[in-house]
Amino acid sequence: MTMAPHPVVQAIIDLTAGAIGGAACVFSGQPLDTAKVKMQTFPRLYRGFIHCIVSTYNQVGVRGLYQGTTPALMANIAENSVLFMSYGFCQQVIRFAAGLHQEAVLSDMQKACAGSVASIFSSLVLCPTELVKCRLQAMYEMEASGRIAKSHNSVWSVVKSIMRNEGLQGFFQGLTTTIAREVPGYFCFFGAYELSRTAFADYKKCGKDDIGTGEGCACSVREPEPTSVSTLHTDKH
C-alpha cells in the first residue's frame, strides 16, 4: 500500500497544483472574462459577446483582451491559498458547532459547510484583487467616459488611484456581494466535490483518501462572477 504523503508535502502539492491550474485558467480564459466584465459594466455599449471582443481588439489590440491578467493571477493564487489554509480551521469550527470531538470525521455536507465558511476568509483577499482586475478590464470605457484619468493604465496606477481617492476601504468595495457569491458557491462546490469522492470510493470499494484529493486543481474552477460584483468593482463613489 502506498503511504500518504506528509501533510506539509501534500499542502505544497495542492497549492502548486492550484497555482498552475489557476494560471492555465487565467491565460486561457482572460479574454472571455474581459468581455464579460465589459458587457456587465457597460450593457448598452456592446450588442453582444462577439461585438465586444472585436471592438476591444480594434481599439486596443490583443493586450486589451488581457487587461487585468496580473491581478487575476494574484486573485486566483491568493484565494486558493487562503481557502486551503482556512479550510482545516473551519472544519474544527464545524466540529465544535456540531458537538463533535476534534478528530471526528465530518460528513460530506459538514465539509461543504466548512468550505462555505472558509470562503469568507478567501473573499477578504479576493475582493481587492478582483476590483483592480475589473477596473483594468473596463479601463478603455472608463477613460472614454471620464471616470478615470488616461494615465491609469497599469496595476500600480489603479492601486494608487484607489488609495488616493477612496482610501484603504476602497479596495473592499463590493465585499458584501463577493461574500454573498462565494458562500453558497463554495458550499455547492465542496458538497459536490466530497459527494463525488464518496461515490467513486464506493464504486471502487476503497477509501476516500485512495481517490486522491485534487483540491488544488479543483479550487481553481470558480462560479461565474455576477453582474452586481463587476458593477460594484468598477463603480466609483
Domain assignment present for residue 1? The answer is no
DSSP tag of 150: T
Q: Give the start-end residues of each E strand in the chain.
A: none
- Give the residue numbers spanning the domain of 148: 7-234
Distances 227 to 9, 41, 149 between C-alpha atoms, Å: 39, 7, 24
Provide the 3-class DSSP secondary structure of residue 6: coil
- At 212 the pLDDT is 57
Domain assignment present for residue 2? The answer is no
Domain assignment present for residue 75? The answer is yes
How far, in Å, CA of 156 to CA of 135, rounded?
A: 12
Where do we find the cell 466530497? 194
Closest CA to 40 of 174, 226, 236: 226
CATH number of the domain to which 127 belongs:
1.50.40.10
Where do we find the cell 493586450? 63
Which tens digit of pLDDT belongs to each residue from 178-224?
Answer: 999 999 999 999 999 889 888 888 888 787 766 655 554 454 455 55
Residue type, 130: E
Domain assignment present for residue 214? The answer is yes
Which tens digit of pLDDT belongs to each residue from 127-184?
Answer: 999 888 888 888 777 666 665 555 556 788 888 988 998 999 999 999 999 999 999 9
Our count of domains for the chain comes to 1
Average pLDDT, the chain: 81
Where do we find the cell 484583487? 129
- At 234 the pLDDT is 60
Residue type, 6: H
